[in-house]
Amino acid sequence: MRLVYLACVCAGLALAACESSPVEDADSVADGQNLASDQAPAVDNSGPTVERLGGVAPGSSEDFVTNVGDRVFFGFDRHDLSEEARIVIQNQVVWLKDYPDVRITLEGHADERGTREYNLALGEQRANSVRDYMIALGVAAGRITTISYGKERPVDPASTEDAWARNRRAVTVVGGGST
């Protein structure tokens, strides 16, 4: 009887040892790394890349917004990518590699402060920062269009620090523009 019990325990331990470990995603690749702007992190595309929420078609713009995230934010008068922005973009790149026929538009936006011309230029720099990082991560340049709206399309029209922070953004639009 002891031998049967011992055999069952050994079989259970053997099965437990066969359990697979999770695949690294873009978040875990980026954790703890301080990347220079010209270095591209290794992104593992070998396994499931995005856990899909129900009700959206895979590969659709809704899928992108819901399961990946479509925007990154910038500091006041800045166009450089924060570590948080890089992680979002890395996740976007993983999604774009899963759907290689999808084209995107990167929209650059600014808050209401500054002249129209200045904010159009700043929005362009923000969109180009995202574009350049995506290209460095392996997205074909021909899939990406950029446009700057400057301060013309605020997501929050209030004149407060919080509203300005929400308006300083780059938005990735699947298949077109206007967010």
% pLDDT > 90, the chain: 66
Tens digit of each residue's pLDDT (9 = 90 or more) over 61-112: 999 999 999 999 999 999 999 999 999 999 999 999 999 999 999 999 999 9
CA–CA distance, 69 with 55 (Å, rounded to integer): 16
- Band (pLDDT 50/70/90 cuts) for residue 22 is very low
The reported pLDDT for the residue numbered 176 is: 63
Give the CA distances from residue 53 to residues 30, 49, 87, 98, 123, in Å, rounded to whole numbers and listed in that order. 23, 13, 20, 16, 31
Domains of the chain with CATH codes: 24-174 (3.30.1330.60)
Q: Mean per-residue pLDDT for 149-168?
A: 97
Looking at per-residue pLDDT, the higher value among 179 and 139 belongs to 139
Give the CA distances from residue 110 to residues 5, 8, 26, 61, 77, in Å, rounded to whole numbers and listed in that order. 69, 65, 27, 23, 9
Q: Mean per-residue pLDDT for 143-154?
A: 98
The reported pLDDT for the residue numbered 49 is: 46
